[in-house]
Structure 1
Amino acid sequence: MTEIAGIGARSATVPRDEQAQLRRMAHELEGVFLNQLFQAMRATIPEGGVIAASSGQDMFQAMLDEQLATAAAERWRSGLGEALCRQLSRHLAATAQVEPEGAS
């Protein structure tokens, strides 16, 4: 009897590991978005200065932008990752209810 009750409870909610994975991926996507945003903002800055830019400096700037975007996505919640989680969680919950009982 407890197995039958467990099946119903399992299909009614999204498993924790799927929810955690969804949240992690949504925040990673938020980091990718912020990286693109930083690159677009940097592209608006006129080149020049005392020292001419080199390919090494360009590579460093790209790596710095990537790290800043990752850190910003972890610390500063713009809401994009959370909005993605809310939207996609509904889809996960709907597919969890539709899955056959024996498919785990």
Structure 2
Amino acid sequence: MKINTSSIANSPSYLKTISSSPQDKSFEQKLKAALGEKDDARLYAACQEMESVFLSKVLQAMRSTIPRSGLIDYSLALDTFEGMLFDEYAKKISQSKSTGLADLLYEQLKKR
């Protein structure tokens, strides 16, 4: 993995993390550590999104088992709205960390 340092050279957050004084770690190791924290956050966000997609599919399957009462006429707009509503439910459930799927995915992928 090649690290492009030109885009982050002027970033104050990385300059605070990486000092120019000689210590146990080299400059490259400090730079990789600073970038690794950002990558870990992106990896966890991707794991939460994957959990959200899985939960969305589960909720769609559950929704298909509910019989329609006829109180509200079925339409494509209603189906689209309900689909979007259940997608948002899935996002909220994954953000609440109640299932733990994102944590499991993150731990497995972080090892690589």
**TM-score strictly above 0.5:** yes
1:13 and 1:86 map into 2 onto residues whose CA distance is: 19
| Aligned with 2:78 (options 57, 60, 64) | 57
Q: 2:50 aligns with which of 2, 23, 29?
A: 29
- What are the ranges of 5 or more consecutive residues in structure 2 without an aligned counterpart? 1-20
Matches within 5 A, 1:6-45: 6=26, 7=28, 15-45=36-66
Change (3 A) 1:5 1:77: same
Distance in 1, matches of 2:86 and 2:106, equals 24
* 1:30-49 CA-partner distances (Å, limit 9, x unpaired): 11111111101001112342
How many positions carry a matched residue from both structures? 91
Percent of aligned pairs with the same amino acid: 31
- Over aligned residues, Cα RMSD in angstroms? 2.5
Bigger helix fraction:
1
Structure 2 letter corresponding to 1:80 = L
Deviations 1:12-54 (A, max 9, x none): 8981011110001000111111111110100111234233311
Distance 2:48 2:75 in 1: 32
TM-score by length of 2: 0.69
The answer for the alignment partner of 2:22 in structure 1 is: 2
Specify the code of the residue in structure 2 equivalent to 1:77.
S
Structure 1 length as normaliser, TM-score?
0.73
* CA distance, structure 1, for counterparts of residue 55 and residue 34 of structure 2: 31
Q: Which has the higher contact order (CA 8 A, sep 6+)?
A: 1
